[in-house]
Structure 1
Amino acid sequence: MNDEDNRKPYRLGRRPGEQGPRPLSSNQDRIEKLATGKTGTKTGTTTRQIVTNKTAAAVTSNVKIGQQQWKITKDTLTVGTWNVQTLWATGKLELLRNEMKHFRFDVIGISEVRWTEKGETPSGDFIWSGEDTTHTRGVGMLLSAKAKKTLIGYNPISSRVITARFNATPFKLTVIHVYTPTSASSDDEIEIFYDSIEHALTQTPKKDIIIVTGDWNAKIGSDNTHWESVMGRYGYGDRNERGDRLLEFAALHNPYICNTRFQQKANRKWTWASPDGVHKNMIDLVLIQKRWKSSVTNCRTFQSADISSDHSLVLCNIKLRLKRRCIKPQQYHRADVSQLKSQKVREVYQTRLVNRLQDIDTQCTLEEHAAKVEEAIKEALQATVTTTRRVKKPWISEQTLNLADEKRKMKQIKNVSVENGQLYKNLCNKVKKSARQDKDNWIQDKCNEIENELKIGNTRQATA
């Protein structure tokens, strides 16, 4: 028996961080991050400059790549997959973020996002690819603070496939997340889906480390006879036709199914359960290139994770290092122009502005002159008034988060009795209702704020 397969699994479970960079990647319909650090998307998200925060991540050494310097982090890379059934519900993404604070992770592939179009959240910690108009299917990735800082770019291929590329060592890392058609789908749909994955693989640089995560809707079973090269001896259940198709794909492209590599108890293997808890299957899988399978230290299911889904969270630990760019954090603050209401402050500002305008050389083009005037106004303002930083408050309430924690605990015992099952359903409904109420309250508060500012003539603050 292989010593690697027998060793004690490494336990996951440290709280991650929260904050970092953003997207990009190659041609076609991809999102490109410019050399200036700005990102533009086709989904209406505004072009903005990346602001990276300092983190407490441990560092072993510095590596220079071209003109940029990168820091290598020591932590083990944790990649996972989770079918959340939907994020198209009020507060569902906030609840997902809150739930993942209980676990250490870097990149989590999310299935059944059910958001339209494609793009990223303003904070840059979630990227997605969905249908153009209908709230069906959809895939995405939730990124930790460390992963955001190493993100090179992402490619929203379709509502079933999304890829993201990260700076890592010894080679760059490409994560592909997929959501496979269900068993009710036609064979043609399945083949089109696998063709899209193969296309994504061909577009990936050959030197990249490739990890494929997702809800495969395929049962590979526990018998690895004739399939030893692509799966281990520790699968779960029986194999079906879709499982055969997945194994054929793995044999052709050489990925290894990490879920089957380690001996685990049953509830750390199965990733989906029927509503009555009777039928259970292993269908959410993490695959890695065969030459890197020895880098995998553990891969297991976490039944404690709760997002009101019949699927369970799967996390995989891999001995890889991410490299983040060493960019000095830039702080963007808004000048507090309300201070100019003071006669004394206004006189100081006017004096400084006049002095700066007098120094401008008029022997230049109209565009150059306008730019110099703008710079003079900014300099005079910065020298006169202080800056203010607007703090964004979370709209979801502590009450909703507490209900989510209660629901999480009840999930562990929901199958003990019918009463517990009903209590869990009630808590699910309470969380949804509370989140909707939080959103309504937040919108109402914002409307009241704007109305009050307009009443006193403060249009700047009202539109801020």
Structure 2
Amino acid sequence: MERSQEYENTAWASPVCDAQEPRLAAAISGRRLPCFGRARPKKIAEGVGSLNVRSMTGRSREVADLMKRRKINILCVQDTRWRGNKAIDNWEMGTSSFFSRANKEGREGVGVVLNAEWKKHMVNVNRCSNRVMSIKLMYGKVTINIISAYAPQVGCSIEEKEDFWEQMDAQITWMGEEERIILGGDLNGHVGRNRNIIERTHGGWGVGERNEESENVVDFAVAFDMAILNTFYKKQENQMWTYCSAGRKSQIDLLMCRRNNLKEIKNFKVINGESVAPQHRLIVIDFEMKEERRGRQQQTSRIKWWMLKDQELKAEFKIKVLDRMVEAEDPDTWWTTSSRHIIEIGEEVCGKTSGKDPSPPRIRNLGVE
């Protein structure tokens, strides 16, 4: 009995091993080693995708569930086939907001779906046509433009194709150079694996051969320095096809971004097996970016107007201004002449800063009674 009590007092809860030692913190650096104090880049969006849904009728709940399962924050959809313009807030049980544009006949149609978090950052919706629309998002100081596009098919007229690409050009033109652009759409052009003279826009990891419709896609990408993200990531061939039907395969669903922002794109993937669109496959990118820091502002010299708190300088400034003041019948002429004299006298009496310190110290006590 005494021996059993002794064991109870000295027994270990678990065998003595290195498991009892304190563990290292979770790895947060790129080399999978503990790193304390290093700030990670601010991840703005987990996923942006594009999908040709071949009609949104009866599929809205499936699309909302797809975004939730695949962790997609922003989804560009094409061929919605809904009539007129749509702006549905708290779409499908409050998970997403849907914005679309289509004609009165319910043909073609494009849209953008935002989850609840990104809906708060939307500032503008531009419904250009039933084939092109864009949404502008403001995340802090970063501006992100999401474009959803649906190019005319092979059998459409040349005029319709030219109108589409003119609308695309207009969409990019009014966007600032510092703004991010992510284009997702069914462009009906197979860019292939051949890079030729488009190394900057084509990554070289395409599939198949280029067709005639791809010339417009390539010309658009080269003109606006856009990177075709499908071609910048090495994948197996069965993970590159975005359209499969009746034994035919092609890579017509594309995602693009500005070439200068390519480093912010972390991955591109084609997801198979989604029942929402059996022919077209979902394409998704993961991107992260840091808010741009404001550069050092250019400093210029300024007149020390605060020196007029000194009564002697103030009296001197007043006398010189009155002496040089002239009369003129035209008010504009009088103001132009007088303002020039005031600035010249202020620089003479008060002096100017060196320009090195943008915020000169205030003079609290000039010692003047």
Q: 1:136 to 1:234 in 2, by over 3 A?
A: same
Query: In 1, distance between residues paired with 2:205 and 2:47?
Result: 20
Secondary structure of the residue aligned to 2:213 is helix
Secondary structure of the residue aligned to 2:209 is strand
Q: TM-score, normalised by structure 2?
A: 0.64
Q: 1:308 to 1:177 in 2, by over 3 A?
A: closer
Match of residue 105 from structure 2: 134
Taking the TM superposition and a 5 Å limit, the aligned residue runs for 1:255-274 are: 255-274=226-245
Find 1:98's aligned residue among 65, 75, 88.
Answer: 65
Is the Cα contact below 8 Å between 1:176 and 1:211 reproduced in 2?
yes
> For residues 399-425 of structure 1, what are the alpha-carbon distances to aligned partners after superposition, in whole Å with 9 as ceiling and x for unaligned?
xxxxxxxxxxxxxxxxxxxxxxxxxxx
Offset at residue 169 of structure 1 (A): 5.5
Secondary structure of the residue aligned to 1:110 is strand
Q: TM-score, normalised by structure 1?
A: 0.51
Query: In 1, distance between residues paired with 2:172 and 2:163?
Result: 14
Q: 1:210 to 1:192 in 2, by over 3 A?
A: same
Match of residue 215 from structure 1: 186
Match of residue 301 from structure 1: 270
Question: Aligned AA for 1:100?
Answer: M
Secondary structure of the residue aligned to 1:134 is coil
Identity of aligned residues (%): 24
Is the Cα contact below 8 Å between 1:232 and 1:260 reproduced in 2?
yes
Match of residue 79 from structure 1: 48
Query: In 2, distance between residues paired with 1:279 and 1:126?
Result: 32
Match of residue 89 from structure 2: 122
Match of residue 298 from structure 2: none
Offset at residue 309 of structure 1 (A): 3.3
Taking the TM superposition and a 5 Å limit, the aligned residue runs for 1:176-187 are: 176-187=147-158
Is the Cα contact below 8 Å between 1:169 and 1:321 reproduced in 2?
no
Superposition CA RMSD, Å: 2.1
Query: In 2, distance between residues paired with 1:135 and 1:163?
Result: 19
Higher helix share: 1
Offset at residue 205 of structure 1 (A): 2.9
| Moved segments of 4+, more than 4 Å | none
Secondary structure of the residue aligned to 1:262 is coil
Is the Cα contact below 8 Å between 1:77 and 1:320 reproduced in 2?
no
Is the Cα contact below 8 Å between 2:48 and 2:72 reproduced in 1?
yes
Find 1:290's aligned residue among 244, 259, 275.
Answer: 259
Offset at residue 321 of structure 1 (A): 6.0
Match of residue 214 from structure 2: 243
Match of residue 311 from structure 1: 280
Question: Aligned AA for 2:55?
Answer: T
Is the Cα contact below 8 Å between 1:257 and 1:285 reproduced in 2?
yes
Taking the TM superposition and a 5 Å limit, the aligned residue runs for 1:6-405 are: 74-87=43-56, 89=57, 91-123=58-90, 125-131=97-103, 133-168=104-139, 171-274=142-245, 276=246, 278-320=247-289
Larger radius of gyration: 2
